[in-house]
Structure 1
Amino acid sequence: MIVGRRSWWWTWLQVPGVGISRIKQLEQAFGSLQAAWWAPAEQLLALPGVGPSLLAGRDQLQQRASALPLPVPPKVLLPSDLAMPPALMALPQPPAALFWCGRGALWPLLRRQQAIAVIGSRRASPYGCRWAQQLGVALAAAGWPVISGLAEGVDAQAHQGCLEAGGTPIAVLGTSLERVYPRHHQRLQSQVGRRGLLISEQAPGAPGLRGAFAKRNRLLVAMAQAVVLVECPQRSGALLAAQIAWSLQRPLWVVPADSDRASAAGSNGWLNQGATALLDPTQLVEALGPGPLQPLALPQRPDPSPLLSALGSGASFEALQRRLHLSPGALAQQLLHHQQQGWIEALPGLCWRPRHTEIDLPVA
């Protein structure tokens, strides 16, 4: 986007009630957004849908501003910026602007849809939360950024698992960036912002809007290569996200649950509509292949004995990290490798134990 046009786009966005459709209408009618700004009132009012409120908003902004056009703040993406993901602009309702904080180097990955969305209920059962956390770990170990909404339940557990495995979480918020919802996610939101990316369609200082949480679903789905629906009831915003994924032809995976589990009635229903059943996190990783942030490959002939020795009859992620002195990312990669080989199995609460099968474990 040309610098002058970019600044005028931002200036028009500060007029109450002006969005991307109105800006496009003004630019088409007057040839440029600058010309539209200085157009006489009667010419503006001649446009379909333009009323006195737009003129009043323009005039009030003009009186308050020390200079025009207004400068665009840092860490704001506008529609024609090179970093803006094309998939977002192809939506029926593309964003007029995106506000972000965190690692800007991740935007090229989102332009190429190189992230996996994990979605589900805010009131997920322990089963759903455990699944979301294990997905976060597995995807992080495979080098895939995990994108979700930072809401309670499935979203938070997916982000937490990703962080614990040294991965890259990306959160699309339903509030402005400086707000935290729910409030007890303050630490989690800060961690995501440091290690990954926080994205919002809501401008700083914008009031909380109930519909914004459902509206943001289209953004996180559009930027994803595939979507995993973990658990949700019949009435859930996650079902809207699943419908968007289906309409955008994104691969949709669903974690099955008991048929009489009310908290999974909505997600189970997608299994009858063509979604793919996900029975194990490694199934997803194998289907996706290595992610864009995959760490260096394990040696050709790894010796898993140190991990198995540290594991004993079973151990948590934190305990293994202390015993082996490995980074979260390196440990997550080894755990995923051992799980894929059938040597260990995952337990609730980010714990693992040796898998007692007829498969011979390699020895030192």
Structure 2
Amino acid sequence: MQTQLLAEPAAPALSTKPHYAILDGLRGVAALTVVAFHLFEAHATSHLDQRINHGYLAVDFFFLLSGFVIGYAYDDRWEQMTLREFVKIRLIRLQPLVVLGMVVGAALYYFQDSPLWPGISTVPGWLVLVVMLIGCTLLPVPLSMDIRGWHEMHPLNGPGWSLFYEYVANLLYALGARKLSNEALSVLVALTGAALIHFAVTSATGDVIGGWSLDREQLRVGFTRMLFPFFGGLLLCRVARLGRVQNAFGLCSLLLLLVLAFPRVGGPDHLWQNGLYDSLSIILVFPLIVWLGASGQVTGKVAARVCKFFGDISYPLYITHYPFIYTYTSWVSTHKPSWQQALPVALLTFVAAVALAYAALKLYDEPVRRWLRGRFLAAR
């Protein structure tokens, strides 16, 4: 439940600006990695032995990518766009799949009886429906209605927490941050970066994992993880001079996978070292990856199709895959297979998540957004 996904295309649909196809492709690379990370997580005993160990950093990468793309798409549109129109655009882009993700989560909850959490045999159906309806608004569910016992804001679809912070970041941008000068924004980024480093190296677990619970400490984690990368991405968009990078998609994908899959740093006796790795990855490496991706060009039909497909399924995959992970985790906790024994089921779960994401995109998300744009944004 440690990840969040940027849902904004790399340039607005009505814009004549160049489209950052490579950034779209990187969203997909990270989304696919997130699914694998969560599958491995079902077999881990702690943060120390988790495979694809730093997969949770994908959320921070997506926040940074989101800030970059929001700035690119909207910074120069405010003379023709009102706050209300901006909110409409963002809701139409994000909310339909938020609703679908909660519905999928409620439907699969039936199959998730497990020693790890209460299941449908002990939780009333009406309560599951109420939690689903609250989740469809993306408002956090109070702890008194935590039907899974994991202290999640959205116990039917855990990744909803990161979309909650995505909305908060968008509102902060629209209400004030968009007006900041580059100098003032630089100060904000420096302060939030220092806060991120302090949190990471002093964290009790030696990492930046967290943010999905509605309590004081976890809210601190969520805001700390969101503020630097989002506004760092916005600053990067404003001040970076793009170059010309050959084979940028392959290079950026490799760098991103290396960061996310890198083994745990420091071990149990030196937790701060892993916290330092986390914070430096977010502050230094992720901006470099985004700059390289924005500086590259997609050449060839195959590469263009891969980037488009990855970008298209990235958000649907992120927001609908976790109910499958709950179900898979429930199966693992009940049957206790080794990783080798579980591999066929894990692969089936992975394929099912990708298939659902593509079906959700084509059969639901694109038609619904098309209708909503025609209904509420026709003038634009």
Same fold (TM over 0.5): no
Richer in helix (by share): 2
Richer in strand (by share): 1
The alignment's TM-score, normalised by the length of structure 2, stands at 0.22
Q: If you compute each CA radius of gyration, which structure gives the higher value, 1 or 2?
A: 1
The structure, 1 or 2, with the larger RCO (C-alpha pairs under 8 Å, 6+ apart) is: 2
